[in-house]
Amino acid sequence: MIRERVTTHPTTAVLPIPADAPARTGEPGTRRPLIGVIGGMGPLASTELLNTVYGLEPPEHEQLAARILLWSDPAVADRTTAIQSGTVDLVREALEYSVDRLLTAGADVVVVACITAHPAIRLLPGRLRSRCVSLVDLVFEQLGERPGRHLVLCTRGSVLAGVFTDHERWPEFAHRLVLPDDEDQEQLHRHVYRLKRNGDRLATVAFVRGLLPKYRAAAFVAGCTELHLVTRAIEARGLTRHLPSIDPMTVIAQRIRDGLI
């Protein structure tokens, strides 16, 4: 029996692309910035952020999709409770550890997917704080592009901490921003915590829909990351035109997708 001799040729080794190699934009293999996300506050909101990033017009090649490192830590102290009890430092400690670990793992910037945690971001060391993207800043940036009166919906903790009202740009837009009264704020807070437990999103959609005419608002600010679940439900049902909003989670998702942060 004659055996055919097969000639093989040496292969060229494919070396990994160094982390600091220049990106070749638009080609598979492009190394996009690595975005760190601190989630778990609550878990459903931060995972929905990832769903939004990857569900928005996916690229032709999956290799061109966003690079995200999610640090989900539901054990972080409740932010509203911490604000009410004067123990925000507990949240600061958790964020400091999480941001440091994400940066050590190679993240270029960090998104803290909890607006009520933003007072703790201000307490971080400068080297860490400077690498965090502020969702609150994004809200005011969007207000500069969106006319009309907006109803600011956020947690009780964010109201108490002045997350929005103490922002440097609040005076610029205060004439067209309104907060719910105490009764509606308490109802909203309960809705947020039901959403954390995977409660009925449509019930919150109906609640928000009833608030807009009451406060003569043309749109609302999704000033709590759980409300991203609500804006997604609004979009899924084709109600965006009737219930317009400024949702910083959607804005940051679009920028992550487009490589703008």
- Kindly list the domain boundaries of the chain, sorted by start residue: 34-257
In angstroms, the CA 76 to CA 97 distance is 11
- Alpha helices (H) along the chain: 43-55, 79-85, 88-104, 118-121, 126-129, 135-143, 156-161, 170-173, 182-196, 201-214, 227-236, 248-257
pLDDT bracket for residue 78 (50, 70, 90): very high
Round to whole Å and give the CA distance between 241 and 234.
Answer: 9
* Averaged pLDDT score across all residues of the chain: 91
> Taking the complete model, does pTM exceed 0.85, yes or no?
yes
94-98, 104-108, 225-229, 257-261: the lowest-pLDDT one = 257-261
Cross-strand pairs, 150: 177, 219
Calculate mean pLDDT across residues 103-111. Answer: 98
Fold topology of 34-257: Rossmann fold (3.40.50)
pLDDT tens for each residue of 161-198: 999 999 999 999 999 999 999 999 999 999 999 999 99
